Amino acid sequence: MSTPTALSLAFIGTGVMGRSMASHLQRAGHPLHVHNRTKEKAASLLSAGAHWHDSAGQAAAAANIVLTMVGYPADVEATYLAPGGIVANARPGALLIDLTTSSPALARRLATAATARGLSALDAPVSGGDIGAREARLVIMVGGDEAAFARAQPLLALMGKNILRHGPAGSGQHCKLANQVAVASGMMAWVEALAYARAAGLDPARVLESIGGGAATSWAMLNLGPRALRGDFAPGFYVKHFLKDMRLALESAAELKLELPGLAAAKKLYDHVATRGWEDLGTQALYRLYTES
């Protein structure tokens, strides 16, 4: 049931992470308008009372705040800037929050287009995967106007715990790409450690128990390592989306005249993962590259 402070929200993109994120907003009492390319992926939200719309623009027209969690920069651009998209159809004064990991330059374009129509826009990419989304423990990295950030904070706090604004439009995307640079090398580190342990005749699970409590540990090691060892490669975060993030980071680094050899090495390995036909698996599928000939 709605509370006196309930806001009319639109949520576009109800996939692996978006569905959980939207459900937190819904359970807080906010009327929810949803759209997704595959309606079945919004079924749990619809059964809980969300309103379905056949396009992102239609959902946006029904809400005061619009949140998006889609796949690729091209999806973000089409969702927001197409003639029937969000910017053209949003209510006057609406706040637009893109939670997708996308291009900093595109985030700035969206902010400019939103401002031209009397709207506010934030780029607010997230980190934490399916577990963080389900448990409302996402890290949320925000770029955009301070007043818009203050308006968004109560909603972002329903989905995450570590929420910081890093500067003007595009800054959230830059922070998320920095996050992915760190994650990329970190994934190689724990995968190679467990592959080494296996080749040496040790029990990788037992090795994980030892090194997971010391200086080598990381979130990915503790959360994705056990999945990989038991052969669970279901996506918490898709290989194909991680490849997209690494491409964006490498492109942005090139614009900044910065070389990132660790990121380049990780990208090359994940390209091999994709050529095996594993791009729709979770990022822990990198372990298979070392253990399956």
**CA gap 121, 107 in Å, rounded:** 9
**131 neighbors 125 (Cβ within 8 angstroms):** no
How far are the Cα atoms of 42, 71, 102, 125, 139 from residue 174, in angstroms, in the given order?
Answer: 30, 17, 9, 10, 14
C-alpha dist (Å) from residue 28 to 64, 67, 115, 120, 277: 16, 15, 29, 23, 40
Assess whether 268 carries a catalytic annotation: no
Catalytic entry in 39, 161, 176, 267: 176
**Contact in structure between 240 and 279 (CB atoms under 8 Å):** yes
CB-based contact 133:159 (threshold 8 Å)? yes
Residues classed as catalytic: 176
